[in-house]
Amino acid sequence: MEAALAELLLRRKELEGKVRQLHTVQTGDMTQFLVNRVKAHEGLDEIKAQVPKVTMNQVTAAHDWYAKQLRLCDAAIQRANWDTMVTVGDDVMADYVENPALTKEEVTL
């Protein structure tokens, strides 16, 4: 599949957000069980429990999947970075010179 570099850059940002979001999920956030015991009539108790909707394994699997996609996306961007040449002005890659009229000997103290 081919994609424009701009699309890959946007996808990388999206994937970074997903990985960061899933990375912050803590085990304690997923495993808290609340049990509520209520006395009912005729000697029977009613027990209500709140259980997590997803397991830590599911969160880890999603994190790993998004992290892999991020690595693949980043690798494609890096490949494009190394394979693409950009035409720039001659002075773009030059270093700053305080006074271009001075020679190196005049600048050295």
Q: Where are the domains of the chain?
A: 5-81
Tell me if 31 sits within 8 A of 51, measured CB to CB: no
pLDDT along the chain (109 residues), means of 10: 88 92 73 66 69 79 93 93 86 77 61
Nearest to 60, CA basis, from 33, 26, 32: 26
The pTM is what? 0.58
What distance in Å separates the CA atoms of residue 9 and residue 63, rounded to the nearest whole number? 20
The torsion angle over the Cα atoms of residues 91, 93, 95 and 98, rounded to 10 degrees, is: 20
